[in-house]
Amino acid sequence: MALGPFLLLATLEGLVSAAVLALTAVGLSLVFGVMRVVNVAHGEFFMLGAVVGWAVASLIPEAPALGFLAALAVSPLVAALVAIAVDRAILRRLDYTPEAVIVATIGVGYILQQGALSLYGPEARTVAAPFSFRVQFPWFGYSGYKLGVIAAAALVLAGVWALLARTRIGLVMRATQWDRETATAFGIDTDRIYALVFGLGAGLAAVAAVLVVPISQAHYLMGGDPLLLSFAVVIIGGLGSLRGTVVAALLIGLTDGIAGVFFAPTLGKILATLLVALVLVFRPQGLFGRRTA
């Protein structure tokens, strides 16, 4: 294959990972933006979404498309409910102290991992894609489902944006993010908003996971990479900035896709990880964020 088509293929692959990454990272970013806490269990909520998605889809083996749609509907709900329970039972009692929340969510992550290992097992399993046509380019054919993932992610992201910018509940969320005390003084139940945001964040990770399961596989250890990549996206995009998060996800997803074609994947990951750490050291407001303090 000549370089041009090769690059097109790499770009498409990059766009797919960028789409999934954007969904996952927006969930993390939302939680950080509104609640000012870092959720280390975010990767495990992603894993939970994939595993529950597999479980739901395997209930309807005769109709793969229906099974997939059911997984897409149920799995984010389950992840959101688990997250809300975690918020109510643990995070609220910690009064959202940033460091205590990090330690507690590490614990939550271990418990989710163990739960998946004990109930779902150590195997990696996949879910059949709801449709499987190929888009024929002059040089190669490309999975229609992957293009569908990009479209679905864009749709969900637009939905999140509309929710935040155009609805009353979004306004209330932004008010809570801006100033929790004043929001409380105006009669907003910020405890409920926190629970809602934490659930929404986990739900978004679960949507991303269900979308990705037909491409890769569900496995109880799959949460590590999405977590680190989401951290990277949220940091580079500027902590708590939604637009920055999406731009950074595109940047990192595309780089990942294209660099993956040319470099050894591990070396690429090492350099990317160090780069992100250095961004956080020297530009803590992110590449696109504004300095607030």
Partner 1 sequence: MTVRTRVWALHLAVLAALALAPLVLPPYHVTNLARIMVLAVFAMGYNIAFGYTGLLSLGHALLLAAGMYATGLLVTLAGWTAGPALIAGLAAGAGIALLVGLLALRTTGAAFMIVTLMFAQAGYLAVLYFGDLTRGDEGFNLARDARALFGLDLVADTTRYGAALALFAAGLLGCLVLVRSRTGRVLVAVRENAERTRMLGYDPFRARLLALTLSGLYAGGAGAAYALLFGYVGGTFAGVQYSVLPLLWVLLGGAGTVLGPLVGTLVMFYLVDIAGSFTDATLLVVGAALILLVLFARAGLLGTLRDRWLPWLP
Span interacting with partner 1, options 45-53, 182-190, 228-236, 254-262, rule CB under 8 A: 228-236
What is the token pair recorded at 219? 């496995």
- DSSP symbol at 91: I
d(CA 182, CA 167): 20
Give strand ranges (E) for the chain: 134-136, 141-143
d(CA 293, CA 287): 16
Which residue of 63, 66, 85, 111 would you call a contact of partner 1, by CB under 8 A? Answer: 111
Residue 100 within binding range of partner 1, rule CB under 8 A: yes
Span interacting with partner 1, options 126-134, 143-151, 248-256, 267-275, rule CB under 8 A: 267-275
d(CA 76, CA 79): 5
Length of the chain: 293
Nearest to 248 by CA among 217, 283, 214: 283
Which residue of 66, 73, 85, 110 would you call a contact of partner 1, by CB under 8 A? Answer: 110
Q: Are 203 and 80 in contact (CB under 8 A)?
A: yes
CB atoms within 10 A of CB 138: 5
d(CA 280, CA 249): 16
Nearer residue to partner 1 within complex by CB, 43 or 257: 43
Which residue of 228, 254, 287, 288 would you call a contact of partner 1, by CB under 8 A? Answer: 228
Map the footprint of partner 1 across residues 165-224, applying CB under 8 A. 224
Nearer residue to partner 1 within complex by CB, 75 or 113: 113
Residue 262 within binding range of partner 1, rule CB under 8 A: no
Residue 285 within binding range of partner 1, rule CB under 8 A: no
Residue 69 within binding range of partner 1, rule CB under 8 A: no
Which residue of 1, 81, 169, 278 would you call a contact of partner 1, by CB under 8 A? Answer: 278
Binding residues for partner 1 (CB under 8 A): 38, 90, 93-94, 98-100, 102-104, 106-111, 113-115, 117-118, 224, 228, 231, 235, 264, 266-267, 269-270, 273-274, 276-278, 280-282, 284
